Structure 1
Amino acid sequence: MALIRPLGGFTPQFGKNCFLAETAAIIGDVTTGDDCSIWYGAVLRGDVNPIRLGNRVNIQDGAVLHTLHRKSVVEIGDNVSVGHNATVHGARVEHDCLIGMGATLLDNAVVHSGTIVAAGALVLSNQECEPGCVYAGVPAKKVKTLTPEEQHRMITLNAEHYLTYSSWYTE
């Protein structure tokens, strides 16, 4: 079972049908929606401010979600994939996004709906990523506008695949 640790008067709260890998650590003021998955080695540390996940969010292996004390929160919308070893530090990710492997989102950054942050990209503090685009590089810059078909293929299907993967572990 995952490490689920109350802290500071807050106990992590989980929606229905969530998969929590045995080596995931979820601490303090963390709330998830339904059908979420938190994978091996992921850390959601809601010790200094809240972390809120919508429905059908997958936090992949080794990802870290944390906040800046009294200055930022993590808010993640529905149908979001946070890739392996990504860091989301006090940022907001709206619905239907893909945060690539090893990407970093810093405090008060906003990734608008339908956007992909490419693997290894660095979204700076207070930076806003336009909806329906791909951001890549260090620092992250807009490199492409996505068609609805590309959004479906790259974002929606990724989130759906993680629903399937998590079902293998909860059967």
Structure 2
Amino acid sequence: MPVYSFEGIVPVVDPTTYLHPMAVLIGDVTIGPRCYIGPNASLRGDFGRITVEGDSSIQDNCTLHTGSGSDCLVRRGATVGHGSILHGCEVGQNALIGMHSVILDGAVIGEDSLVAALSLVKNDADFPARHLIAGNPAKVVKELPEAAIVWRNNGDGEYQRLADRSLVGIIECEPLAEVEPGRRRNSGEARAVRLSSDTK
């Protein structure tokens, strides 16, 4: 697993967190309990401190970094979507950062907010809680009603359960040469199918 100390500072990862073997942690990085850190995520604490509080998800190909002496903070229950970049910013509790978004130095994303995919949040932007934020540069689109805050969780959301499942269920292996008869689906897929049929 590529975890590296930097100038004597060693990353800290709670043992209930799932850290994919292809994720990279360097230096002053702290990850709280029941987080999911996906493949090819890069958390580089070589200039400043990176803190990911418990129940958060840093998905595949995300980059977390800082400027000199600054912090990058992901608060409890936040989700950072695939390919996003966080640089010296703060993501509020239960916020969702959409795929391939960029959040720049000094920016603050309020709790329970949603940053739409492909958004660019400029330096020092400060967005309030419970809002949809979108665009390049990102702006407030609207306040989110309670029913729209679907990613809120109480510490037992999908990504916390995925962290638990991944700790025991992800095992490096060789691929099969062909699909076996009666190939089963994983429980996440089966649940998605059930939810889809329940809403019709």
What TM-score results when the alignment is normalised by the length of structure 2?
0.80
Q: Shift of the alpha carbon at 1:42?
A: 0.3
Which blocks of at least 5 consecutive residues in structure 2 are unaligned?
169-200
8 Å contact kept, 2:88–2:105 = yes
Q: Distance in 2 between matches of 1:15 and 1:88?
A: 21
Q: 1:25 aligns to what? A: 24
Q: Distance in 1 between matches of 2:151 and 2:141?
A: 15
Query: Any runs of at least 4 consecutive aligned residues in structure 1 with deviations exceeding 4 A, and if so which?
Result: none
Q: Distance in 1 between matches of 2:34 and 2:73?
A: 16
Q: Distance in 2 between matches of 1:105 and 1:69?
A: 17
1:4 aligns with 2:3: yes
Q: Shift of the alpha carbon at 1:149?
A: 2.0
Identity of counterpart residues, as a percentage? 32
What TM-score results when the alignment is normalised by the length of structure 1?
0.93
CA RMSD of aligned residues (A): 1.4
Describe the superposition over 1:37-80 as per-residue Cα deviations: whole angstroms up to 9, x where unpaired: 1100000000110001111011000000000112x210111000
Number of equivalences? 167
- SS of the residue corresponding to residue 166 of structure 2 reads helix
Describe the superposition over 1:88-119 as per-residue Cα deviations: whole angstroms up to 9, x where unpaired: 00001121100110000000000111111110
8 Å contact kept, 1:92–1:108 = yes
- SS of the residue corresponding to residue 52 of structure 1 reads strand
- SS of the residue corresponding to residue 113 of structure 1 reads coil
Q: Distance in 2 between matches of 1:94 and 1:29?
A: 20
Describe the superposition over 1:106-151 as per-residue Cα deviations: whole angstroms up to 9, x where unpaired: 0000011111111000000000111100100100011121112211
Paired amino acid for 2:20: A
8 Å contact kept, 1:116–1:155 = no
Q: 1:57 aligns to what? A: 56
- SS of the residue corresponding to residue 157 of structure 2 reads helix
Which blocks of at least 5 consecutive residues in structure 1 are unaligned?
none
Larger Rg: 2
Q: 1:161 aligns to what? A: 158
Pick closer, same or farther for the CA change 1:77–1:58 going to 2, 3 Å: same
